[in-house]
C-alpha cells in the first residue's frame, strides 16, 4: 500500500508539477510538502491534505488510500 506522500508525489508528477508548483497552487509550506512526500510526516493535518488535494484536483480519499 502506498503512503500518503507517495500518492501525492504520483499525482503531482502525473500533472507535470514540481514541488514548487504545488506549493504555489496549494498554499502549503515547502517544508511541509517535502516532509509529507518523503514520509517524515505520516499524518498531515486535514487542512494541509485538503489544500493539496484541491490543488491536485483529486479527493483527500484518493491521497490516503
What digits encode the pLDDT tens for the residues 6-55? 999 999 999 999 999 999 999 999 999 999 999 999 999 999 999 999 99
Output the pLDDT for position 17: 98
Exposure string over 26-53, b if 16+ CB within 10 A, otherwise e: bebeeebbeebbeeebeebeeebbebbb
| Res 64: pLDDT | 92
CATH topology of domain 4-64: 434 Repressor (Amino-terminal Domain) (1.10.260)
Answer whether residue 65 shows pLDDT above 90: no
pLDDT at 59 over 90: yes
Confidence (pLDDT) at 2: 87
Show me where the domains of the chain are located.
4-64
How many Å apart are CA 21 and CA 40, to the nearest integer?
A: 21
Helix, strand, coil in percent for the chain, rounding step 5: 70, 0, 30
Instruction: Compute the distance between CA of residue 1 and CA of residue 29 in angstroms, rounded to an integer.
Output: 26
Amino acid at each position: 500500500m502506498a503512503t500518503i506522500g507517495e500518492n501525492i508525489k504520483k499525482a503531482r508528477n502525473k500533472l507535470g508539477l514540481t514541488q514548487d508548483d504545488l506549493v504555489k497552487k496549494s498554499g502549503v509550506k515547502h517544508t511541509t510538502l517535502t516532509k509529507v512526500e518523503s514520509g517524515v510526516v505520516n499524518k498531515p493535518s486535514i487542512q494541509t491534505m485538503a489544500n493539496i488535494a484541491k490543488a491536485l484536483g483529486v479527493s483527500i480519499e484518493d491521497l490516503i488510500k
